[in-house]
Structure 1
């Protein structure tokens, strides 16, 4: 299974720029044989933008339909983070369009980070799993993947690939260096962690987007500039898989 991610600078509320960047990266990933491309968190309209509620998109809005058409034209699944409007509520969401353009999953971030996110968004309350290129995949968003119970819950559901848009900012470099590979190793699954680079308002993103294999191996990792990463996910080796879930002793 070949997977890809795009690490870029925020579209900064320029909807056309965000859509065009997604289409360009998607075409390149498809040309390299990727089954899916992952973009950063709230790529539309940009993570650290003012007035997010007024810029939030419905899942069936014209920009989302355009991305669905792009996925179908490329024959490559696309995961994009976006601010989702649902009536009076706004969610920090990620949608996965399949290689035929159909919606495979729409996930709402469970672990909102900090007072700003909690002021803007309603937290999600459900996991979402779906088939992707013969594997069982799931979506998490940024802070979600730092919580072992969420990763374990997905692994227990048979998930072997987590596609994870993020907006990881300074000084949290430990997440891209250590946390994500450790979560992959401890739960025997692969993680595609697509971050921003550069600055957006008062945030400086750490870059470091990565694709981690099921034994914690870093298959590809970006620096602090825009990058398209593509990696082949290796098969899981039963002899190397963690047995923590089976071996855990719960104390009274």
Structure 2
């Protein structure tokens, strides 16, 4: 999971960070959520005591909606960045990169392709988080809140069927496009020997040169600690060597 909306986040920094993840981390599937002060949590209590604006409608606290004032983004910018993040990460270029990485590591690309289609389709075509949706979403006319009127049968099913056809036509086109990318990767003999920064083995603390470790003081401190630990291991190895 990847949480969007940390205090230092902006639309630009979110996109930059996603690009770093694409280049430098061997992560296949990424699911995005919004930083949310869930009612009843310590965060929600603290923000309430500080007088920070929070969404009064508790139905919005679904981890997909901006529910609290952000210091560097408007609600619209934050919500837009969340929607864009799925497209930034699951770009055609990165989908091909993911499939090549898995082909090189001996992982079945069909399994990766299925997950890519489900996650991207849920977020972009169903409009819900992938954990709330599979390949097909079933709706029931009778499952509504008690205070809401029941929708007429004809209107409900006509609307549901038509929207489903449109959504799954788009779903199918995306599946076909990415299937062609997968076929291209599978047919390319060079895919078995593909390598990039993310799947290059790391030795000791050599990874301190990665961009993600030079973004702020915390990341630089983590690198310094890793370097000290690597040095300590080498010293111990030298002392115990015959």
Q: Per residue, is there more strand in 1 or in 2?
A: 1
TM-score (norm. length: structure 1) = 0.24
TM-score (norm. length: structure 2) = 0.25
Q: Per residue, is there more helix in 1 or in 2?
A: 2
Q: Rg bigger for which structure?
A: 2
